[in-house]
Homo-oligomer: A and B are copies of this chain.
Amino acid sequence: MNLSEYVDAKHDEHLSDLFEFLRIPSISTQSQHKPDIERAAHWVADRMRRVGLESVEIIPTKMHPLVYGESLHAPGKPTILLYGHYDVQPPEPLGLWTSPPFEPTVRGRNLYGRGTADDKGQVHIHLRALEAIRQLTGGLPINLKMLVEGEEEVGSENLWDFVKSHKKKLKSDALVVSDTSMLGLGVPSITYGLRGLNYYQLEITGPSQDLHSGVFGGAAPNPLTILSELFAKLHDKDFRIAVPGFYKDVAKLSKVERKALNSLPWKEKKFRSTVGAPGLCGEKGSTILERLWCRPTLDLNGIWGGYMGEGSKTVIPSKAYAKFSTRLVPNQDPREITQLVEKQIRKLLPKTVHLKFEVLSTGKAWVAPYHHPFFELARQALVKGFGKRAVFIREGGSIPFVTQMSDAFRIPCLLLGFGLPDENAHAPDEHIALDNYFGGIKAVAYFYEALGGVQI
C-alpha cells in the first residue's frame, strides 16, 4: 500500500476525527470562549501524541496557550518547523450560516464549518499525513517540530515572545505553514508572498451625552457625520490611500514577476462571482491580482454608533466607533504606518470632537525568493498528491508569524495552502473542498517523504 492508497483507505476516519476538532468553538477574540480555547489546545496535544510526536507540551502564555511536540530521530536529515493555529474567527452573523458554524456539515464536495479552512482543517491535514507515514513506515524520515498557536486571529503577540526566547529549541532548516489558499480548485499552489496587517480602532466623541436631534440638530457636532467625513477623506479619487507618506516604501513589482502573476490560471469571472457585488473597485493602474496581492489597502471592518434598533430614534449620539485595518506590502514598516495613519486622522478631524486612537495589532508583509530546493520538492509533492500542475502565487492575507520567522531564522518558509479564495475564511459558510483536504494529506505526506531523501 502506498501513501495515497493508505490515505484513501482511512477516508471516514480522517473526517470523523476532523469533525471532533471543528466542533470546539475556539474563538480567540471573545473572552467567554476561553474554556473552548483550552479544550482545543488539549485536543491538539492529544493528537500530536497519537501520531508519535514526543515532548508534547501545552505552553501557557499571557493569553492563549501554545501547543508543541517534536520527533527528532532522523540525524543528518532536514529539520522542519511546522506551524498552524487552532483558534478561529468569530462566527457572527450567525443568521447567514446555512448549517451551524460549529456543526461540521458536508454539502456536495465541500465541508462547511468555522475553521474548516482557517486553519483547523489544514492543521489536521498535517496530523493525518504524519499518521499515514508512521503507520506505513513505523517512523518519520525527517526531524519535525510542530507548533500550533491559539492567537493567530488576534495578532499572534505571545507566539513571537515564545519564539524569541526559545530560538535554540525551534532551530530548523525550513518553516512549513498550511494556512493559505490555492489559486483555484484543481490548481495546487505554493504561496511566496503575504501582505502585512495593522488593525486600528477609533472612538470619536462629540457631545458629552446623547442629544435630541430636534433640539440640538444644526449646531451640535454629530460624531457619526464626522466619522463618515473622516473615512471619505482617507481614499483619493483613484482609490489610493490619502495618508501622506503611506506609499513611500512600497516595493515596485519587477517586470518578470508582474508578468508571471498576471499569466496565472486565475479566473476573474469566478472572483467576481465570489464577491457577488454589482462591480469591483480598486486602485487605478493595477490589475485585480496586483491589487489583491501586491498593493496596500485601507478597509473599514466595522462601524457603529447611535440608534441601531427597530424603528426610529431622533438622537445625535455622543460617540461613534470604527474598526479598520491597513494591509501592508514589502517594504512598508508597520510601526511607521501606524504613526502616519494616526497623524493624518488627527489632522483631518475637526476640533469639535475628541479622538481615542488605538492600534490593536501590527504586522509586516513577507515575500520569499523561491529558489531554494525545498520549494521544488514541495511543488513535485503537490503534483503527486493532486495529480495536477502546481504554481507559485502570492496572497493578500497576513500571517505575522511567517514574516517574523523569516526575519529571525533566515530559513525558507513554505506556505502549502489547501484553502480556496471563496472558502469564506472569515465569513459565514466557511468551508474546505474535500478534494483539497484529502489531496493535501497526500501531498504533505509525499513532501515529508521526499525531504527524507535530502542530506543536510
Contacts and interface: CB of A to CB of B under 8 A. Distances in A.
A221 B277 contact: yes
B220 A277 contact: yes
A289 to B, nearest CB: 9
Interface stretch (A3-11, A71-79, A202-210): A202-210
B213 A299 contact: yes
Given A218-B297, A353-B278, A212 B308 contact: no
24 contacts: A29-B309, A29-B312, A29-B313, A181-B215, A209-B429, A210-B426, A210-B427, A212-B424, A213-B297, A214-B398, A215-B395, A216-B396, A217-B325, A218-B283, A221-B275, A227-B228, A228-B230, A228-B231, A232-B233, A302-B306, A303-B306, A304-B308, A308-B323, A314-B398
A292 interface: yes
Nearest to A288: B219
Given A201-B312, A219-B271, 17 more contacts: A28-B311, A29-B309, A90-B313, A154-B311, A181-B215, A197-B214, A211-B426, A214-B395, A215-B421, A215-B425, A216-B292, A217-B292, A225-B231, A301-B315, A302-B307, A302-B313, A308-B321
B301 A304 contact: no
Contact of A396 (B29, B218, B312, B353): B218
A219 to B, nearest CB: 5
A186 interface: no
A426 B232 contact: no
B207 A276 contact: yes
Interface string A266-308: 0000010001111111110000100110011101111111111
A222 B305 contact: no
Query: Which of A93, A219, A221, A310 has the most chain B CB within a 10 Å cutoff?
Result: A219
B300 A228 contact: yes
Contacts of A124: none
Interface string A342-368: 000000001111100000110000000
Contacts of A277: 205-208, 220-221, 352-353
B291 A222 contact: no
A280 B310 contact: no
Interface residues of A, number: 103
Nearest to A396: B214
Contact of A225 (B154, B229, B282, B300): B300
Interface string A226-251: 01111111010000000000000000
A327 B214 contact: yes
Nearest to A32: B310
A38 B7 CA distance: 67
A314 B399 CA distance: 13
A177 interface: no
Nearest to A311: B29
A307 B302 CA distance: 5
Q: Could you say how many copies of this chain the assembly holds?
A: 2
A353 B277 CA distance: 6
Contacts of A360: 311-312
Contacts of A313: 29, 89-90, 153, 301-302, 323, 426
A111 interface: no
Contacts of A398: 214, 314
Interface in A148-171: 153-155
A46 interface: no
Interface in A173-218: 181, 195, 197, 199, 201, 205-218
A241 to B, nearest CB: 10
A271 B313 CA distance: 22
Contacts of A304: 303-305, 308
Contact of A428 (B154, B181, B209, B235): B209
A429 B212 CA distance: 12
Given A93-B210, A302-B313, A426-B315, A280 B228 contact: no
A316 interface: yes
